[in-house]
Amino acid sequence: MADTFAYTSAAVLASRIRRGDLSPVDVVDACLERIDARNEDINAFVTVLGDDARERAEEAEAAVRRGEELGPLHGVPIAVKDLFDFKAGVRNTMGSVPFAEFVPEESATYVRRLEEAGAIVLGKTNTPEMGHKGTTDNRLFGPTSTPFDLDRNAGGSSGGSAAAVADGLVPIAQGSDGGGSVRIPAAWSGVYGFKATYGRVAQAIRPDAFLSHTPTIHAGPLTRTVEDAALMLDVMTGPDPRDPLSVPEEPHDFQGAVRRGIEGLEVAYSPDFDIFPVDDRVRAVVDDAVTAFETAGATVDEVSLGLTHDQLELADLWIREIGMLYHSAVEGFKDEGLDLLGDHRDDLTPEFADLLEETRDQSVIDYKRDEHLRTEVYDAVQDVFTVEGYDLLVTPTLAVPPVENDDGGTGQTVGPSEINGEPVDPLIGWCLTYPINFTGHPAASIPAGFTDGLPVGMQLVGDRFDDETVFAASGAFERVRPWHDAYPPR
C-alpha cells in the first residue's frame, strides 16, 4: 500500500477524506510505509511520529463518521522542519549535537494552525545546523539527498522537507526561509516552494520576538502542486498578538489566484540580478522556461536592476545579518545554561562555528550601516514594480545544479566556491534567493526543467502583499509546463 497515495495531492486527499471515501488511517499508514522504505536512501526524516500519527488518524476518521465540521487539511499527512518550527512535546534538534535531546513545550504558531486545520504531523525533517546554509547536512544526521540523484544534496535549509515531498513520503511539508531555505531545496528537489510577504505568517519567537527581522525569516509550504501551497498558506497566514512583526489579515484568495489567467501580465526577467555568475546550463533552462509566461498571455522583458554592489558584498552582508540573528539566539541559550562556543565548539559544524566567531564582534553601528546596503537592494527590487510598472520579477532560483554530498561525516556539504571562474561564497553566494530576504517580498521557486537529469528552479517575485500574483503566475506556468510526471519512479 506504500505507493498508493505517494504522489496524490493534499487537496485531492483532503477532498476524498471529507467525502468519506478515503480513510485518513490508510493514508497515514501508506506514508509511514513509504518513509520506512525510502527514508534510509534520502535521509529526509530525522524523527518519525508513527504511533502518534496513527492515533490522530483514527481520531480524524472518527470525526468524519460523526459528521463534525472538518478543517481544510483534515486527515492530510504533513512533515515539519526540525529547526525553530517546534511541535510541543516532540524532540527538536535544529540539526545540532548540543540540542540532540531538546524537547519544546510549545508549538510554533504556524505548526499549531496546520494541526488545527486537521493536518497530521508524521515527523520532523532534516536541516543544517541552525539552518545556517543552503545545503542540508549536519554532524547529527548527515546529508539529505535529492531524490533525482542520491549522491547529490537536496538543498537547504529545508532540505528534509523538500526531499520528503519530492519522493512521495508526504504530500506537503512545512519549511522556513531566511535566505532561500524554502526556495533553494524546492529548486534542487524539483518541488514548489513559497515564501509569503514578510509578516503574513506569524512566528512569535521567544525570547527575542524581533529575531525574524534580520534578515526577514519566513515559514512557508513545500508541495508538489501550486494548489497545495495555496491551501497550506491559507491556513498558515494571519497575525499573532505575540508577534510584533506580523501584519493584519487582508482579504485574499490564494487558491482562487492559482486558477486565474495571466493575460496582460507584465513580467520582468533578470537572468542574474546583474551581479551573479550563473552556470550556463541553468541559464539555458530558465531562459527557455520564462517563455511559458508568454504562452500563457503575459509579456516578458529582460531588465536590469541597477545594483551597485557585487554579489560577494551582498553575500557578506547576509552572513553578517544572519550572524546577528544567531548571536541573539546564542545569548538566549546562555541564559538557559548552554554556552555553544564556550563549551560545545567541537560539537558544532565547522563552518557554523566559524560563522559565529567571525560575526560576534559586530556592533550596533555596524548593523545599522549594513541596513543602508540592504535598503539599496530593497529599492532595486521595489522599483521593478513601482517605477518600472512590472507585475512580476523572474530569475533563476539558484546559479548551479545540485552539488555532491560531502561524505566526511562532519556536516560540511556546501555549495560551490567558484562559478564561471568567479569566486562565490559557498554557504549562500550561489543562491539568487537571499536578496529577497533582505526585502521581504513574496517569492516562489517553481520547477523550470532539467539539466543532466537534475532539477532546475525558477524564482518568481511579486510586489509586497501581492502574493496572489505570484500564485497566479505559478498556476499559469504549471498548466503550460506541468512537471508532475517528472518525479523519479521508486
How far apart CA 215 and CA 118 sit, in angstroms, is 31
User: Is 170 a residue whose pLDDT tops 70?
Assistant: yes
Look up the pTM and report it: 0.97
Contacts of 357 (CB under 8 A, 6+ apart): 341
What is the maximum alpha-carbon separation in the chain? Answer: 64
Q: What is the pLDDT of residue 490?
A: 55
Cα torsion 308, 397, 225, 473: sign: positive
Domains and CATH numbers, the chain: 10-480 (3.90.1300.10)
328 is catalytic: no
User: Is 489 a residue whose pLDDT tops 70?
Assistant: no
The amino acid occupying position 35 is I
pLDDT, tens digit (0-9, with 9 covering 90-100), for 377-397: 999 999 999 999 999 999 999
How far apart CA 411 and CA 420 sit, in angstroms, is 26
The amino acid occupying position 240 is D
Cα–Cα distances (Å) from 39 to 26, 161, 166, 443, 488, in that order, read 19, 12, 12, 29, 15
Single out the residue of 160, 196, 185, 181 nearest to residue 78, CA to CA: 160
Q: What is the pLDDT of residue 249?
A: 85
3-class SS letters over 354-412: HHHHHHCCCCHHHHHHHHHHHHHHHHHHHHHHHCCCCCEEEEECECCCCCECCCCCCCC
pLDDT, tens digit (0-9, with 9 covering 90-100), for 403-458: 999 988 889 999 999 999 999 999 999 999 999 999 999 999 999 999 999 999 99
pLDDT, tens digit (0-9, with 9 covering 90-100), for 187-226: 999 999 999 999 999 987 777 777 777 678 899 999 999 9
Active-site residue, selected from the candidate residues 96, 157, 158, 474: 157
More confident residue, 215 or 250: 250
How far apart CA 130 and CA 431 sit, in angstroms, is 18
81 is catalytic: yes
- Residue found by looking up cell 528534509 in the block: 160
More confident residue, 367 or 67: 67
User: Which residues make beta-bridge pairs with 220?
Assistant: 175
Length of the chain: 490
pLDDT, tens digit (0-9, with 9 covering 90-100), for 448-488: 999 999 999 999 999 999 999 999 999 999 999 999 888 87
Active-site residue, selected from the candidate residues 181, 189, 212, 445: 181
User: Is 1 a residue whose pLDDT tops 60?
Assistant: no
Contacts of 172 (CB under 8 A, 6+ apart): 10, 76, 78, 79, 119, 165, 221, 222, 223, 228, 232
User: Which residues make beta-bridge pairs with 398?
Assistant: 431
How far apart CA 34 and CA 28 sit, in angstroms, is 10
Distance from the Cα of residue 75 to its chain's centroid: 23
Percent of the chain scoring above 90 in pLDDT: 85
Distance from the Cα of residue 462 to its chain's centroid: 17
Active-site residue, selected from the candidate residues 81, 87, 124, 195: 81
- Residue found by looking up cell 532546475 in the block: 456
DSSP annotation string for 162-211: HHHHHTTS-SEEEEEESSSTTHHHHHHHT-EEEEPSTTSB----SS-TTT
- Residue found by looking up cell 546583474 in the block: 274
- Are 454 and 149 in contact by the 8 Å Cβ rule? The answer is yes
Give the mean pLDDT of the chain.
95
Q: Which of 195-204, 272-281, 329-338 has the highest mean pLDDT?
A: 272-281
DSSP 8-class letter at 481: S
Which H or E element spans position 302?
A: strand 299-302
Which H or E element spans position 219?
A: strand 218-223
